[in-house]
């Protein structure tokens, strides 16, 4: 007799839907029987610049050691991060992408009977990690597509253990300023861990976004999570990190899997972190591409949500799913966000100039069909 293994799973897991990533190029090529090289993918917020040459060189040097386990403590990378982020070595937690940091937080601090607070239209992983451990998700309605920090603060109760906030937010690209963050952190109870997800913060440097690192010393209940997947161009290698008090980092390391960051990722991240020219070019390319897409939307009479990430959400004024399918037939992959409660929007990653032009041409053609 076979068991019903869905029914045997934890209740929170039963209610989950698997995370759906952006459509791969090869999959679309197979479906449409077209050349993969002709497809433009602007769906997954990847850096179109390609990896840093210094990171690629570091990977090549590390290849000879593939039979060895990686440094489970990630000493070299943690040392560089501690210096770069102005913290002590024991305040750094390494993750298999910043997604891993979010999961470590949930495993360490959430459980049945407890809850996590986060915003509507926020990163899909927040509800996944919360429900997976049997905790309750308190989803607070968004304000102008972004976080309503006052409402989120009001939702905190004695059973709240974690608040997830993202700045900039994915998928909307919205952000909040230093004053709003100051007021929020001052009023969050001491028993609540605030996870400030700054996966896209490098794209916003020099803007009006606060730097989460400036708040770590004053707030022992703050954890800042960041990644090398976006501005540093290492999405395939999956390496991220969390910065917190030494006590919180120690707790996370108790549930962290051994060797959760592989050797190639460690070596590449060390090199990428020290490649200031690459990061500057990533920002320049992103700023120019953002302006290019905004100009294209303006010409098409479309509105969009202003963004501080490497992506932008455009409002089509109609259900976006048919337009998404039409773009696929044109060989252009973007991201539908109906699962985020945004059925009329598409999220477009900023690409190279030619990729942005290709998308705008395809969008114009699809919209003209009605």
Annotate 261-319 with DSSP letters as a single string.
S-HHHHHHHHHHHT-HHHHHHHHHHHHHHHHHHHHHHHHHT-EEE--SSSEEEEE-SS-
Which pLDDT tens digit goes with each residue over 53-92?
999 999 999 999 999 999 999 999 999 999 999 999 999 9
| pLDDT of amino acid 1 | 44
- Which of 65-74's residues contact partners 24+ apart within 8 Å by CB, and which partners? 65/263, 66/263, 68/263, 69/259, 69/263, 70/259, 70/261, 70/262, 70/263, 70/266, 71/263, 71/266, 72/258, 72/259, 74/261, 74/266
Per DSSP bridges, beta strands 92-95 and 240-243 are: antiparallel
Which pLDDT tens digit goes with each residue over 341-368?
999 999 999 999 999 999 999 999 999 9
Phi, psi of 91 (to 5 degrees): -100, 0
pLDDT at residue 100 tops 90: yes
Helices in 15-142 by DSSP H: which ranges? 25-32, 53-62, 75-85, 98-109, 125-132
Q: Which two tokens stand for residue 57?
A: 């060189």
Distinct helix (H) and strand (E) counts, the chain: 13, 13
How many other CB atoms are there within 10 angstroms of residue 130's CB atom? 27
Is residue 140 within 8 A of residue 162, CB to CB? The reply is: no
Which residues have C-beta within 8 Å of that of residue 325, sequence separation ≥ 6?
A: none
Q: Which two tokens stand for residue 29?
A: 């090529």
Q: Which two tokens stand for residue 3?
A: 């068991």
Q: Which two tokens stand for residue 4?
A: 């019903």
Q: pTM for the complete prediction?
A: 0.93
Which pLDDT tens digit goes with each residue over 194-204?
999 999 999 98
């Amino acid at each position: 007799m076979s068991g019903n293994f869905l029914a045997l799973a934890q209740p929170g897991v039963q209610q989950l839907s698997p995370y759906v990533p952006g459509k791969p190029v090869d999959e679309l090529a197979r479906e449409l029987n077209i050349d993969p090289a002709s497809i433009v993918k602007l769906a997954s917020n990847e850096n179109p610049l390609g990896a840093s040459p210094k990171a690629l060189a570091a990977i090549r040097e590390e290849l000879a050691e593939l039979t060895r386990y990686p440094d489970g403590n990630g000493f070299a990378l943690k040392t560089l991060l501690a210096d770069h982020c102005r913290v002590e070595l024991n305040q750094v937690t390494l993750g298999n992408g910043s997604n891993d940091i979010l999961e470590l937080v949930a495993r360490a601090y959430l459980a049945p009977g407890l809850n996590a607070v986060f915003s509507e239209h926020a990163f899909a992983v927040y509800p996944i990690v919360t429900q997976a451990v049997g905790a309750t998700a308190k989803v607070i309605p968004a304000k102008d597509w972004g976080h309503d920090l006052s409402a989120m603060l009001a939702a905190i109760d004695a059973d709240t253990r974690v608040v997830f906030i993202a700045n900039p937010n994915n998928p909307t690209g919205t952000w909040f300023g230093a004053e709003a963050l100051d007021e929020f952190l001052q009023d969050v109870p001491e028993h609540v861990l605030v996870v400030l997800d700054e996966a896209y913060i490098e794209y916003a440097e020099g803007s009006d976004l606060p730097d989460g690192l400036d708040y770590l010393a004053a707030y022992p209940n703050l954890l800042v999570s960041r990644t090398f997947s976006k501005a540093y161009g290492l999405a395939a290698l999956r390496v991220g990190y969390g910065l917190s008090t030494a006590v919180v980092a120690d707790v996370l390391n108790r549930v962290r899997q051994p060797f959760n960051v592989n050797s190639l990722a460690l070596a590449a991240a060390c090199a990428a972190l020290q490649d200031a020219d690459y990061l500057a070019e990533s920002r320049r390319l992103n700023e120019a591409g953002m302006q290019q897409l905004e100009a294209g939307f303006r010409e098409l009479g479309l509105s969009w949500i202003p963004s501080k990430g490497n992506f932008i959400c455009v409002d089509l004024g109609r259900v976006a799913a048919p337009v998404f399918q039409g773009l696929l037939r044109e060989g252009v992959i973007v991201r539908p966000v109906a699962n985020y409660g945004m059925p009329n929007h598409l999220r477009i990653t900023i690409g190279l100039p030619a990729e942005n032009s290709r998308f705008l041409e395809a969008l114009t053609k699809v919209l003209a069909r009605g």
